[in-house]
Amino acid sequence: MTRAGSVGLIGCTSFFPTKVLGCYGDGGAVMTDDGELAQRIRMIANHGQSPKYNYLTVGINSRLDTLQAAVLRVKLRHLHDWIEARIAAAERYDAALKGVAGVECPVRAGGVTHVYHQYTLRVDPSLRDGLRAFLADRGIESMVYYPSLLNDQEAYRDISRCDGDMRGARRLPASVLSLPICSHIGVAAQARVMAAVKEYFGVAEAL
C-alpha 207/C-alpha 100 separation (Å) is 17
Are 96 and 193 in the same domain?
yes
Query: Which is more confident, 204 or 26?
Result: 26
Q: Tell me what pLDDT residue 207 has.
A: 40
Question: Does 2 reside within a domain?
Answer: no
**180, 148: one domain:** yes
Mean pLDDT of 33-39: 93
Domain containing 195 — which CATH number?
3.90.1150.10
Same domain, 100 and 176: yes
Q: What are phi and psi of 55, to 5 degrees?
A: -95, 115
pLDDT at 204: 64
Residue 157, domain member (yes or no): yes
> What is the domain extent for residue 16?
11-76
Q: Are strands 176-179 and 28-31 parallel, antiparallel or unpaired?
A: unpaired
Q: Report the distance separating Cα 35 and Cα 154, nearest Å.
A: 38
Alpha carbons 86 and 81: distance in angstroms, whole number: 9
Domain boundary among the residues 44, 59, 76 is at 76
* 132 shares its domain with 165: yes
Instruction: Give the count of domains, the chain.
Output: 2
Quick one: what percent of the chain has pLDDT higher than 90?
65
Kindly report, residue by residue over 54-93, the tens digit of the pLDDT: 888 889 888 888 999 999 999 999 999 999 999 999 999 9
Q: 116 lies in a domain?
A: yes
Instruction: Please indicate, yes or no, whether residues 62 and 101 belong to a single structural domain of this protein.
Output: no
**Model-level pTM?**
0.84
Compute the average pLDDT of residues 168-197.
Answer: 93
Using the 3D structure, point to which of 76, 103, 123 is the last residue of a domain. 76
Domain boundary among 76, 94, 124: 76
What confidence score (pLDDT) does residue 152 get?
Answer: 81
* Residue 6 maps to a domain: no
Read off the pLDDT of residues 161-180 as tens digits, 9 standing for 90 and up.
776 677 778 888 999 999 99
Whether residue 171 is contained in a domain is answered as: yes
Asked whether residue 206 is domain-assigned, the answer is no
Assess whether 107 and 142 both reside in one domain: yes
Burial environment of residue 179 by CB neighbours within 10 A (0 to 12, 13 to 18, 19 or more): buried
